[in-house]
Homo-oligomer: A and B are copies of this chain.
Amino acid sequence: MLPVFGHTNPDTDAITSALVYARLLTRQGVPAQAYRLGELNFETPFVLREAGVEVPELLPKLPAGTPVALVDHNESAQSVPNLPELTVTRVVDHHKLGDLTTAQPAYLRFEPVGCTATILLGLHREARMPVERLDARLMLSAILSDTLHFRSPTTTPQDREAVAFLAPIAGVEDVGAYALAMFAAKSDLGDTPAETLLRMDYKVFPFGDPPQRWGLGVIETTNPAYVLGRQAELLAAMDRARAEEGLSGVLLSVVDILNETNLTLVLSATEEKVLREAFGVEVAGGRADLGNRISRKKQIVPALEAYFAPEA
Number of identical monomers bound together in the oligomeric complex: 2
Task: List the B side residues contacting A191 at CB < 8 Å.
Answer: none
Contacts A64-B312, A312-B64 given; does A101 touch B99 at CB 8 Å: yes
A297 to B297, CA, bound (A): 34
Tell me if A109 is interfacial: C-beta within 8 Å of chain B: yes
Tell me if A305 is interfacial: C-beta within 8 Å of chain B: yes
A99 CB to closest chain B CB (Å) equals: 7
A300 to B125, CA, bound (A): 37
Q: Which of A1-9, A90-98, A262-270 contacts B (4 or more CB under 8 A)?
A: A90-98
CB 8 Å contact bits of A297-309 with B (1 = contact, 0 = none): 1000010011000
Tell me if A50 is interfacial: C-beta within 8 Å of chain B: no
**Contact call A106/B112, Cβ cutoff below 8 A:** yes
A195 to B297, CA, bound (A): 47
A13 CB to closest chain B CB (Å) equals: 13
Task: List the B side residues contacting A109 at CB < 8 Å.
Answer: 108-110
**Contact call A104/B302, Cβ cutoff below 8 A:** yes
Tell me if A111 is interfacial: C-beta within 8 Å of chain B: yes
A125 to B305, CA, bound (A): 37
A100 to B111, CA, bound (A): 16
Tell me if A60 is interfacial: C-beta within 8 Å of chain B: no
CB within 8 Å of B: which A276-312 residues = 297, 302, 305-306, 312
**Contact call B97/A98, Cβ cutoff below 8 A:** no
**Contact call A103/B108, Cβ cutoff below 8 A:** no
A287 CB to closest chain B CB (Å) equals: 28
Q: Chain A interface secondary structure, helix, strand, loop or mixed?
A: loop
Task: List the B side residues contacting A29 at CB < 8 Å.
Answer: none
Most buried by B among A105, A297, A302: A105
Tell me if A39 is interfacial: C-beta within 8 Å of chain B: no
**Contact call B85/A312, Cβ cutoff below 8 A:** yes
Tell me if A107 is interfacial: C-beta within 8 Å of chain B: yes
Tell me if A102 is interfacial: C-beta within 8 Å of chain B: yes
The contact of A104 among B96, B99, B100, B125, by CB within 8 Å, is: B96
Tell me if A126 is interfacial: C-beta within 8 Å of chain B: yes
Task: List the B side residues contacting A312 at CB < 8 Å.
Answer: 64, 85
Chain B residue nearest in CB terms to A82: B312
- Please name the 10 residue pairs, one residue from A and one from B, whose CB atoms are nearest each other, closest first: A108-B110, A105-B112, A97-B102, A96-B102, A126-B126, A97-B101, A96-B105, A108-B108, A107-B111, A94-B105
- 12 additional A-B pairs beyond A64-B312, A108-B108, beta carbons within 8 Å, are A94-B105, A99-B101, A103-B302, A103-B305, A103-B306, A104-B302, A105-B110, A105-B111, A105-B112, A105-B113, A107-B111, A122-B126
22 contacts between A and B (CB under 8 A): A85-B312, A89-B112, A94-B105, A96-B101, A96-B105, A96-B106, A97-B100, A97-B101, A97-B102, A97-B108, A98-B101, A103-B302, A103-B305, A103-B306, A104-B302, A105-B111, A105-B113, A106-B112, A107-B112, A108-B108, A108-B110, A126-B126
